[in-house]
Amino acid sequence: MQDYTYPSIFLAYLLFAVFAGGALYFLIRSIKDGYWGKDSEEVKYRMLADEENKYGE
Amino acid sequence: MDEKKAVHSGTAVSSTAVPVHTDTTAKWFLLSAVVYFFIVGIVAIILAAKFIWPEMLGTVATLTYGRLRPLHVNGMLFGWLLAADMGLVYYLVPRLCGVKLWSEKLGVATAILWNFIILSAVVVLLGGWNQGLEYAELPLWLDVLVVVAWIMFGWNIFATVAKRKYVQMYVSVWYIMGTILWTAFVYLVGNFAVLFATGVNQANLNWMYVHNAVGLIFTPVGLALAYYFIPKSGNIPLYSHKLSMIGFWSLAFIYVWTGAHHMLHGPISQWLQTIAIFFSVMLLVPVWTVVYNFFATMKGQWELLQTRVELKFLMSGVVFYLLTCFQGPMHSLRSVNALVSKTDWIPGHAHMAVLGAFSFFAIAGTLYTVPRIFKTRLHSASMANWSFWFMMIGGLGFFVTLWLGGLWQGWQWNNPAIPFIDTVVALGPVWTVRFFSGVLIFLGIVLFLYDIVATAIGASGSEPIEDAA
């Protein structure tokens, strides 16, 4: 029986590297998109008004 | 502020209309999830009873402990919690993005497929068709269907996010996108790559999956819900969006390394164990950013807990989240691990995470969302309140008893003079309290189910509430 242990672990490492690289890319993108700047708190006020809130009360 | 700048920073633009949401997919997912919560709750009660009366139903193969236990785990994780989380994601992402869901038809198809998977899982697990890997018990053909359903879900959500009205996204959307991507990674490794590994390597991959199923699936989507429903339930702005982003990114880079702490003192490399311990302790960083943010949000608003049952569930969930995430890093220390590993402490810890924290978030979200998507009022706030107290008291009884029992068990196991069977017999009183605590939790689930179903059914027979504006 052929042992696939190493290929399977390399696959896991490859997936991990892809996702770690993606995370790094989007972290840098978030700086460019202003998530860490002076307007970064605006979004928390906008979400409170994102729907009509007449139901459920 | 001009319109372009307002859209970029996320401020509402008054000239744009609020989209009309049909929420058909959210209805499908939430109602089926609540029903599975009840059904799998019955399985949980039977399992707890078997600890006290091991012979009970023991002669019926499909109802033996070995068949029911994976059904309980998979049913609660994927039938109740993940389905409820997905339903709530279908509700909040379009609202946070200011657009309609990309495709309700695709969403309903996903819900149908998800229900087919869950019902098939019940049949195969009771039939003993089991891969023998924790959390990855489902057979390969069902794993493939889960991947298909997840791609359908992910496509719908990402396509909705892609056409959003605002450039800057609220932190819940970040966590949801993270959940979708991380689940793909975690599920593929845990259910496919693991099948081709052997021995210690297989165990290592399996524990990476088990731990990250909680840490990179249920944690981020649970926090997405808490970040949405705490401000919405209290109508109070989040304390700091910037702090929430620090929490998100620290979770993204730290969590994935921790799985090997399940194999401390085992046959894996010492360096791998040490890395797992280091990153486990580092988890206190994202956890504290989250918990501090929620407590600071509630500062001066605590009286809202008297009237908003959703907030009771949410803030209790935050406390349980803090406790479970303090326990986790402590378990990963070699000295503590030598005492609590494999004991009843661990199910006490796991239930506090999945029930006390993440299910409480999902219950709160369901109580908030169902009346809104059916355009009515909650059937009974009093019933929801009773449901909370049954789950809270039952949950505390469950968690604390298993922690104490686990410590006792660990001390006995570390004394080679005590025969193993004596350590089993000694835990009888602990399991009795566990059973009755479970009954209380189940009563809470029954009330929750009734409240939600009555809300949905009642809505169809009554006129929609008039617009107060």
Whether residue B16 is contained in a domain is answered as no
Cβ–Cβ < 8 Å for B345, B402: yes
SS3 category, A9: helix
Which one, of B194, B212, B192, lies nearest residue B204 by Cα? B194
Give the range of the structural domain holding residue B355, as residue numbers without chain letter. 21-456
Q: What is the pLDDT of residue B248?
A: 93
Q: Which of A22, A33, A51 sits opposite B168 (nearest CB)?
A: A33
Cβ–Cβ < 8 Å for B46, B63: yes
Q: Which residue of B has its CA nearest to A14?
A: B185
pLDDT category of residue A57 using cuts at 50, 70 and 90:
low
Which one, of B130, B142, B132, B143, lies nearest residue B186 by Cα? B143
Chain B residues touching residue A11 (CB < 8 angstroms)? 189, 193
* B166 lies within 8 A of chain A by CB: yes
First-to-last CA distance in chain B? 26
Structure tokens at B301: 């608003």
B205 CA to chain A: closest CA distance, Å?
Answer: 8
Q: Do A22 and B372 touch (CB under 8 A)?
A: no
Q: What is the pLDDT of residue B9?
A: 45
Q: Which residue of A has its CA nearest to B199?
A: A5
Whether residue B15 is contained in a domain is answered as no
Whether residue B1 is contained in a domain is answered as no
Q: Which of B167, B201, B231 sits opposite A5 (nearest CB)?
A: B201
* Helices assigned H by DSSP within B414-427: 420-426
Q: What is the pLDDT of residue A53?
A: 52
Which one, of B332, B214, B217, B218, lies nearest residue B279 by Cα? B332
Residue with tokens 């104490």: B404
Whether residue B351 is contained in a domain is answered as yes
Q: What is the pLDDT of residue B177?
A: 95
Q: Do B242 and A49 touch (CB under 8 A)?
A: no
| Maximum alpha-carbon separation in chain B | 77
Cβ–Cβ < 8 Å for B198, A3: yes
Cβ–Cβ < 8 Å for B410, B340: yes
* B182 lies within 8 A of chain A by CB: yes
Whether residue B12 is contained in a domain is answered as no
Average pLDDT, chain B: 91
Q: Do B98 and A50 touch (CB under 8 A)?
A: yes
3-state helix, strand, coil in chain B (%, to 5): 80, 0, 20
- Phi first, then psi, for residue A47 (nearest 5°) are -65, -25
Distance CA B346, CA B427 (A): 15
Q: What is the pLDDT of residue B58?
A: 81
Whether residue B266 is contained in a domain is answered as yes
B119 CA to chain A: closest CA distance, Å?
Answer: 30
Which one, of B421, B48, B366, lies nearest residue B225 by Cα? B366
Q: Do A16 and B166 touch (CB under 8 A)?
A: no
Q: Which of A19, A34, A50 sits opposite B168 (nearest CB)?
A: A34
Distance CA A25, CA A22 (A): 5
Least confident of A6-15, A23-32, B13-22: B13-22
Q: Which residue of A has its CA nearest to B169?
A: A43
Q: Do B9 and A34 touch (CB under 8 A)?
A: yes
Whether residue B10 is contained in a domain is answered as no
Chain B residues touching residue A33 (CB < 8 angstroms)? 167-168
Distance CA B7, CA B432 (A): 57
pLDDT at B71 over 80: yes
Q: Do A56 and B198 touch (CB under 8 A)?
A: no
| Chain A contacts in chain B segment 55-94 (CB below 8 A) | none
Q: What is the pLDDT of residue B432?
A: 96
pTM: predicted TM-score of the whole model, two decimal places: 0.91
Q: Do A53 and B170 touch (CB under 8 A)?
A: no
SS3 category, B8: helix
Q: Please count the helices (runs of H) and the strands (runs of E) in chain A.
A: 2, 0
- Phi first, then psi, for residue B35 (nearest 5°) are -65, -40
Q: What is the pLDDT of residue B466?
A: 42
B228-251: pLDDT as tens digits: 999 999 999 999 999 999 999 998
Q: Count the domains in chain B.
A: 1
Give the number of other Cβ atoms within 10 Å of residue B203's Cβ: 20
First-to-last CA distance in chain A? 64
Q: Which residue of B has its CA nearest to A36?
A: B242
Average pLDDT estimate for B315-336: 93
Provide the residue type at B264 as one letter. L
| Chain A contacts in chain B segment 240-299 (CB below 8 A) | 240-242, 245, 249, 252-253, 256
**DSSP 8-state symbol, B417:** T
Note the ipTM here: 0.81
Distance CA B103, CA B91 (A): 13
Q: Which of B95, B194, B202 sits opposite A50 (nearest CB)?
A: B95
Q: Do B95 and A36 touch (CB under 8 A)?
A: no
* B147 lies within 8 A of chain A by CB: no
Q: Which residue of B has its CA nearest to A11?
A: B193
* B136 lies within 8 A of chain A by CB: no
pLDDT category of residue B18 using cuts at 50, 70 and 90:
low
Cβ–Cβ < 8 Å for A57, B378: no
pLDDT category of residue B13 using cuts at 50, 70 and 90:
very low
Indicate which CATH number applies to the domain containing B191. 1.20.210.10
pLDDT category of residue A22 using cuts at 50, 70 and 90:
confident
Q: Report CA-CA distances (Å) from B203 to B100, B253, B341.
A: 43, 23, 16
Q: Report CA-CA distances (Å) from B46 to B50, B75, B118, B450.
A: 6, 14, 20, 21
Q: Do B96 and A41 touch (CB under 8 A)?
A: no
pLDDT at B450 over 90: yes
Chain B residues touching residue A7 (CB < 8 angstroms)? 196
B170-208: pLDDT as tens digits: 999 999 999 999 898 889 989 988 888 888 888 888 988
Which one, of B224, B273, B221, B266, lies nearest residue B78 by Cα? B221
- Phi first, then psi, for residue B436 (nearest 5°) are -70, -30
Distance CA A32, CA B207 (A): 36
Cβ–Cβ < 8 Å for B449, B35: yes
Cβ–Cβ < 8 Å for B211, B279: no
Structure tokens at B35: 């029903």
Q: Which residue of A has its CA nearest to B14?
A: A49
Q: Do A19 and B182 touch (CB under 8 A)?
A: yes
B128-180: pLDDT as tens digits: 998 889 889 999 999 999 999 999 999 999 999 999 988 889 999 999 999 99
Interface size between A and B, measured as CB pairs under 8 A: 130
Whether residue B247 is contained in a domain is answered as yes
B351-369: pLDDT as tens digits: 999 999 999 999 999 999 9
Distance CA B207, CA B204 (A): 5
